[in-house]
């Protein structure tokens, strides 16, 4: 559901299937105030759905959310390159809904996992759009069973992204976690501390691996980080986690966070997910149009200079 009254949202997704996506087409456009019901048949596994904005007519070349995936325009694929190349994509900091969907004909319990849905909202890598998720059915999470759960993260707007995060494990490095689109210069997401340190996208400065000593306390790969060390480490004192917990209570903000975690739900549960505007003012479609106009003007100027240079060269020959 598109809860932003300013512009369209496109939904990209992926799944563990032969096509790499679910039954629906890739890049579904949802206009302001409209909604789209994605099909989630029994057995559809390892799905991930994320929003995009400021896209072209086909849902590609987006300002926000263009982090790659099956059929995404930013990915260069063989035979153009030897293997999939994501270097032109956005950092993978999307607000994500993830799910594996069960069979309603099978009981849902600890002994019959194939009869359950398993879903979560993940902000471990960062966020792009605020959202509200209403789960209409019976679910069990880390905090116990619940009916008709509402996860309200409408306040997690892009202006809540820390601009002066001090990463103590990285030598007290002071970083701006905002992700700026390289062409429109608009803020198009918020890095989690881990992604800020390891991402090589959008002009990232000296990225390292997740297990590097400066990144491991934020990324928490096991090994070297244990869950206990992660939960007592520097990630818990970050402004990023404070924003997530304050504006999006119960949702994972890092690898071993004590939120609701993965929810096990009845396969008849209905998931109503609404993505909101990024903040009070940003319009990615307008930013995209301005950038296209600027690029066109630069191209025309370069063409004119080339023609003038060619004409001068021809005049010089005639002398």
Which among 253, 269, 281, 280 is positioned nearest to 133, based on CA atoms? 269
The alpha carbons of the chain give a radius of gyration, in whole angstroms, of 22
Give the pLDDT of residue 300: 83
Q: Does residue 175 lie in a domain region? A: yes
Give the pLDDT of residue 13: 98
To 10 degrees, the CA torsion angle through 1, 263, 120, 267?
-50
DSSP 8-state symbol, 88: T
Q: Mark 214-236 as b/e (b = at least 16 C-beta within 10 Å).
A: bbbbbbbeeeebeeeebbebbbb
Collect all residues with Cβ–Cβ distance below 8 Å to 167 and sequence separation of at least 6: 173, 174, 175, 193, 196, 197, 214, 218, 234, 238
Is residue 112 classed as helix, strand or coil in its secondary structure?
strand
DSSP string, 148-205: EEEEEETT--GGGS-SSEEEGGGTSEEE--EEE-TTT--EEEEE-HHHHHH--SSS-S
Give the pLDDT of residue 294: 78
Pick 220 or 297 by higher pLDDT: 220
Give the pLDDT of residue 204: 80
Give the pLDDT of residue 91: 96
CA–CA gap between residue 232 and residue 110 (Å, rounded): 30
DSSP 8-state symbol, 90: P
Give the pLDDT of residue 306: 86
Mean pLDDT of 130-153: 93
Mean pLDDT of 230-237: 96
Give the pLDDT of residue 250: 82
Which among 181, 174, 182, 211 is positioned nearest to 194, based on CA atoms? 211
101-126, pLDDT tens digit by residue?
Answer: 999 998 888 777 889 999 999 899 99
Give the pLDDT of residue 76: 93
Q: How far is CA 92 from CA 88, 171, 290, in A?
A: 12, 25, 25
DSSP 8-state symbol, 53: B
Give the pLDDT of residue 78: 92
Domain encompassing residue 177: 9-282
Q: How far is CA 40 from CA 45, 200, 302, in A?
A: 9, 33, 50
Q: Does residue 314 lie in a domain region? A: no
Q: Does residue 244 lie in a domain region? A: yes
DSSP 8-state symbol, 249: T
Give the pLDDT of residue 26: 97
- Global pTM reads 0.90
Give the pLDDT of residue 291: 78
Q: Does residue 189 lie in a domain region? A: yes
Q: What percent of the chain has pLDDT over 70?
A: 99
Task: Dihedral sign for Cα 169, 173, 174, 180, please.
Answer: negative
Give the pLDDT of residue 175: 96
Mean pLDDT of 189-216: 94
280-318, pLDDT tens digit by residue?
Answer: 999 998 888 887 787 788 888 888 888 888 888 888 887
Domain count of the chain? 1
Q: Does residue 171 lie in a domain region? A: yes
241-270, pLDDT tens digit by residue?
Answer: 999 999 998 898 999 987 767 899 999 999
**What CATH number is attached to the domain comprising 278?**
2.60.110.10
Q: Does residue 1 lie in a domain region? A: no
What DSSP element (H or E) covers 7? none
Q: Does residue 309 lie in a domain region? A: no
Q: Does residue 290 lie in a domain region? A: no
Task: Dihedral sign for Cα 47, 29, 95, 125, please.
Answer: positive
CA–CA gap between residue 70 and residue 14 (Å, rounded): 7
């Amino acid at each position: 559901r598109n809860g932003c009254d300013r512009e369209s949202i496109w939904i990209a997704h992926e799944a563990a299937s032969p096509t790499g996506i679910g039954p629906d087409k890739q890049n579904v456009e949802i206009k302001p105030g409209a909604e789209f019901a994605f099909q989630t048949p029994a057995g559809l596994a390892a799905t991930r759905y994320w929003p995009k904005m400021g896209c072209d007519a086909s849902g590609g070349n987006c300002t926000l959310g263009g982090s790659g995936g099956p059929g995404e325009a930013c990915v260069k694929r063989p035979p153009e390159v030897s293997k999939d190349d994501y270097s032109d994509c956005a950092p993978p900091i999307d607000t994500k809904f993830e799910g594996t969907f069960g069979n309603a004909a099978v009981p849902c319990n600890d002994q019959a996992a194939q009869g359950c849905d398993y879903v979560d909202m993940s902000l471990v890598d960062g966020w792009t759009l605020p959202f509200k998720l209403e789960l209409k059915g019976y679910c069990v999470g880390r905090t116990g069973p619940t009916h008709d759960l509402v996860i309200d993260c409408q306040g997690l707007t892009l202006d809540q992204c820390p601009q002066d995060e001090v990463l103590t494990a990285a030598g007290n490095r002071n970083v701006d976690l905002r992700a700026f689109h390289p062409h429109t210069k608009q803020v198009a997401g918020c890095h989690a501390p881990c992604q800020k340190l390891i991402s090589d996208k959008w002009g990232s400065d000296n990225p390292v691996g997740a297990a590097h000593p400066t990144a491991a306390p934020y990324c928490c790969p096991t090994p070297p980080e244990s869950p206990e060390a992660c939960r007592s480490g520097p990630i818990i004192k970050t402004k990023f986690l404070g924003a997530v917990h304050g504006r999006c209570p119960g949702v994972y903000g890092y690898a071993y966070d004590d939120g609701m975690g993965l929810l096990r739900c009845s396969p008849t549960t209905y998931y109503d997910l609404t993505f909101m505007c990024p903040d009070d003012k940003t319009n990615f479609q307008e930013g995209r149009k301005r950038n296209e106009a600027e690029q066109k003007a630069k191209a025309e100027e370069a063409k004119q200079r080339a023609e003038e240079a060619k004409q001068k060269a021809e005049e010089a020959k005639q002398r």
